[in-house]
């Protein structure tokens, strides 16, 4: 039974109901486009008149346009509706060394992408990003830009909207949102990269019917986006999901968060590079892509370094499987391009307890294998914010 505290609640206004119905209709159009009004009413269970009111409003606001005219054996030919792909969003995926930015339409198609360096000076990075975004708006002057979505390896305070915890960016408390909004003049949404990936999975992936899953983003650090009971777990001050900073060994190597022996110190791209340097005693500067290329060419030490990393990822996944019992864990990052390695690491994540969550753990492995695509389209998640408003 669900325990609900009625002492401090507000009744739903008719506006709330309208907003929910609008979200339902917009989502149905996105998923089933082109679709007729009659089918929208049939699938949603809403009255035809309600569907008409909502679609007229969406058409007025140019979120939705008329598509092709349908063919039926008899009766009036319906006018199909589809999303207006002239509506676009500026997106950016901020990582410690590089930022990928681009333009995406409402259907989640990237119309252009480019890279720029990320620096440890948040002001300079924000300026550079805004400048390039303004340029992209000029290049795509035929599009109507609705807003800016930025995913980043850190946490954003729900109260102040400042970036408050971004150990891998090495940024102090910073108001990135205002800095970008001031230069671009559009609404700006910030989201933690792992959370954005979780939203992207719901929006564009295959997890539509799954209400409990976890996204693990493996990059310079290790992040998780936790989706519980059909909702993103936010926690106090948006800090939920920091499994990457759970200390597995208090005497382990120092972590960027100030702690020691965190999961990410063992399972991140940086960890794999550290293993390789320890094993080979080389002083050469190496990127994670270089390491993957070495492993691809059967370099024994590179393979060993990656294996250690996979095992560490698996151990942390076991912690998640045991603690949250998700239906799926989706792994995101360059590491997913490295063949069956992750499945080997996944074996380490299978719990051995008799109560056993073996089945979901195996599913996680299968899912990880299927997700072997360097899908860091975290910024895609942002579109959910704009569509669902
Ligand atoms: Zn840490």
Tens digits of per-residue pLDDT, 314-325?
Answer: 888 888 888 888
Residue 22 burial (CB count, 10 A): 19
Inside any domain, residue 1? no
As a whole number of angstroms, the distance between CA 335 and CA 316 comes to: 15
The last residue of a domain, from among 62, 83, 104: 83
76 and 202 in a single domain? The answer is no
Q: Kindly report, residue by residue over 216-256, the tens digit of the pLDDT.
A: 999 889 999 999 998 999 888 888 999 999 999 999 999 99
As a whole number of angstroms, the distance between CA 287 and CA 303 comes to: 15
**In which domain, by residue range, is 375 found?**
196-387
As a whole number of angstroms, the distance between CA 110 and CA 340 comes to: 29
In the numeric block, which tokens belong to residue 124?
């300079």
Q: Kindly report, residue by residue over 125-147, the tens digit of the pLDDT.
A: 999 999 999 999 999 999 999 99
In this structure, are residues 330 and 313 in contact, taking their beta carbons and an 8 Å threshold? no
Of the pLDDT bands very low, low, confident and very high (cuts 50, 70, 90), residue 97 is confident
330 and 238 in a single domain? The answer is yes
CA 168 to ligand 1 centroid distance, Å: 10
Instruction: Specify the pLDDT at position 338.
Output: 61
pTM above 0.95, yes or no: no
CA 265 to ligand 1 centroid distance, Å: 7
In this structure, are residues 135 and 101 in contact, taking their beta carbons and an 8 Å threshold? no
CA 263 to ligand 1 centroid distance, Å: 7
In the numeric block, which tokens belong to residue 138?
């000029």
Inside any domain, residue 226? yes
**What is the DSSP secondary structure assignment for residue 247, as one 8-state letter?**
B
CA 262 to ligand 1 centroid distance, Å: 5
Among the listed residues 158, 232, 235, 234, the one whose alpha carbon sits nearest the alpha carbon of residue 200? 232
Secondary structure (3-state) at 54: helix
221 and 304 in a single domain? The answer is yes
Secondary structure (3-state) at 97: coil
Q: How many domains, in total, are found in the chain?
A: 3
100 and 166 in a single domain? The answer is yes
As a whole number of angstroms, the distance between CA 258 and CA 255 comes to: 6
Q: Kindly report, residue by residue over 355-388, the tens digit of the pLDDT.
A: 222 223 333 333 333 332 222 222 222 222 222 2
The last residue of a domain, from among 83, 110, 141: 83
Secondary structure (3-state) at 216: strand
133 and 221 in a single domain? The answer is no
116 and 40 in a single domain? The answer is no
336 and 214 in a single domain? The answer is yes
């Amino acid at each position: 039974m669900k325990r609900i505290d009625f002492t401090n609640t507000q009744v739903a206004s008719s506006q709330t109901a309208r907003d929910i119905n609008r979200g339902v209709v917009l989502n149905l159009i996105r998923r089933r486009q082109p679709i007729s009004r009659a089918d929208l009413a049939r699938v949603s269970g809403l009255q035809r008149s309600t569907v008409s009111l909502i679609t007229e409003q969406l058409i007025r606001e140019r979120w939705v346009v008329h598509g092709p005219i349908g063919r039926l054996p008899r009766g009036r030919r319906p006018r199909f509706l589809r999303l207006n792909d002239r509506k676009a969003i500026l997106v950016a995926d901020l990582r410690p060394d590089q930022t990928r930015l681009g333009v995406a339409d409402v259907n989640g198609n990237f119309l252009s992408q480019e890279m720029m360096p990320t620096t440890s000076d948040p002001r300079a990075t924000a300026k550079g990003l805004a400048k390039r975004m303004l340029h992209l708006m000029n290049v795509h002057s035929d599009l109507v830009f609705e807003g800016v979505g930025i995913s980043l390896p850190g946490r954003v305070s729900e109260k102040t909207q400042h970036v408050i915890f971004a150990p891998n960016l090495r940024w102090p408390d910073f108001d990135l949102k205002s800095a970008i909004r001031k230069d671009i003049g559009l609404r700006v949404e910030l989201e933690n990269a792992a959370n954005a990936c979780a939203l992207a999975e719901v929006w564009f992936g295959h997890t539509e019917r799954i209400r409990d899953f976890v996204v693990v983003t493996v990059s310079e650090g290790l992040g998780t986006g936790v989706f519980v009971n059909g909702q993103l777990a936010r926690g106090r001050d948006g800090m939920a999901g920091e499994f990457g900073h759970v200390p597995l060994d208090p005497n382990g190597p120092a972590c960027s968060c100030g702690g020691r022996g965190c999961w990410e110190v063992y399972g991140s791209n940086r960890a794999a590079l550290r293993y390789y340097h320890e094993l080979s005693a080389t002083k050469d500067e190496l990127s994670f892509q270089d390491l993957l290329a070495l492993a691809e060419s059967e370099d024994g030490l590179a393979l060993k370094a990656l294996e250690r990393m996979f095992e560490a990822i698996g151990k942390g996944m076991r912690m998640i499987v045991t603690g949250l019992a998700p239906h799926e864990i989706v792994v995101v990052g360059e590491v997913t391009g490295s063949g069956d390695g992750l499945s080997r690491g996944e074996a380490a994540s299978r719990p051995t307890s008799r109560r056993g969550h073996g089945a979901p753990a195996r599913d996680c492995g299968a899912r990880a294998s299927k997700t072997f695509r360097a899908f860091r389209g975290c910024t895609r998640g942002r579109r959910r914010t704009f569509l669902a408003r």
